[in-house]
Chains A and B, each alone.
Chain A
Amino acid sequence: QQQVKQSPQSLIVQKGGISIINCAYENTAFDYFPWYQQFPGKGPALLIAIRPDVSEKKEGRFTISFNKSAKQFSLHIMDSQPGDSATYFCAASMGAGNQFYFGTGTSLTVIP
């Protein structure tokens, strides 16, 4: 059973456009929602994360939007660049030190 559902599976965006990746969860006990970026042959790197007490968090060109009532959160990449081409994973966890439940990943391609 997939605890965190992620869409789309793949995404192609023009340079300068906005990339949007969505995730949904069912377990209301989740209290931490990170996004990871992974390049081929590398480990995932933390991009940005949010707790459920806020609806939005922005760091540079990356923004997480969080809708607690809908149990959904999304990653927005503004002014997408070819260097952003990677696989993005959302995740959720409950409590510090506990395992993460990962989404299935989104392969983003930004074309010049």
Chain B
Amino acid sequence: GAVVSQHPSWVICKSGTSVKIECRSLDFQATTMFWYRQFPKQSLMLMATSNEGSKATYEQGVEKDKFLINHASLTLSTLTVTSAHPEDSSFYICSAIQLAGPYEQYFGPGTRLTVT
């Protein structure tokens, strides 16, 4: 149990276009989902905390107008990278916490974004 999926697993887009990444909790309801960014050989950098039905909370330095997060249901959160540029190329990972569950965060498999 406690499976989190992400779609797509990888995406290549041209500079200036927007890309949407989906994060789904497949067998549980998640009140809270987190979005991370990870550069090669580095740790996970928290971008934002997404709560169902409310606005996401962004970490300092993360542009909320560039990285749009929508948590429309208890099983789905989306991250849209708007007007993507090559510096946005990265590995994006989401995680989810079970509704009224324990502390564990369950991570998705990640999405590799390459902006050309």
Contacts A41-B112, A43-B93; A105 near B105 (Cβ below 8 A): no
Q: Is the CB–CB distance between A46 and B106 below 8 Å?
A: yes
Instruction: Please give, as numbers and ranges, the residues of chain B lying within 8 Å of A97 by CB-CB distance.
Output: 31-32, 97, 103
Instruction: Tell me if A105 and B103 are in contact (CB < 8 A).
Output: no
Write the nearest CB–CB distance from A73 to chain B, whole angstroms: 15
| Interface SS of B by simple majority | strand
How many chain A residues touch B (Cβ–Cβ < 8 Å)? 22
Q: Given A102-B44, A103-B43, answer yes or no on A42-B109 (Cβ-Cβ < 8 Å).
A: yes
Whether a CB of chain B sits under 8 angstroms from the CB of A96 is: yes
A89 to chain B: closest residue by CB: B43
Chain B residues numbered 1-28 whose CB sits less than 8 Å from any CB in chain A: 4, 6
Interface 1/0 per residue, A40-69 and B, CB below 8 Å: 011111100100000000000000000000
Among B6, B41, B91: residue with most chain A CB under 10 A: B41
In the complex, chain A residues whose CB is within 8 Å of the CB of B91: 41
User: Any chain A CB within 8 A of the CB of B67?
Assistant: no
Interface size class of B (residues with CB under 8 A): 20 to 34
Q: How far apart are the CA atoms of A103 and B101 in the complex, in Å?
A: 24
Contact B43 A100 (CB under 8 A): no
Contact A93:B112 (CB < 8 A) given known A99-B34, A102-B43: no
Interfacial chain B residues near A42, Cβ < 8 Å:
109-110
Partner of B103, one of A44, A87, A96, A107: A96
Question: How many whole Å from B50's CB to the nearest CB in chain A?
Answer: 11
Interface membership of A85, Cβ < 8 A: no
- Chain B residues closer than 8 Å to A36, beta-carbon distance: 107
- Among A43, A99, A104, A107, max chain B CB count under 10 A is at A43
User: Residues of A at under 8 Å CB distance from B?
Assistant: 32, 34, 36, 41-46, 49, 87, 89, 93, 96-97, 99-100, 102-105, 107
Q: What is the interface of chain B, defined by CB distance below 8 A to chain A?
A: 4, 6, 31-32, 34, 41-44, 46, 49, 91, 93, 95, 97, 101-110, 112
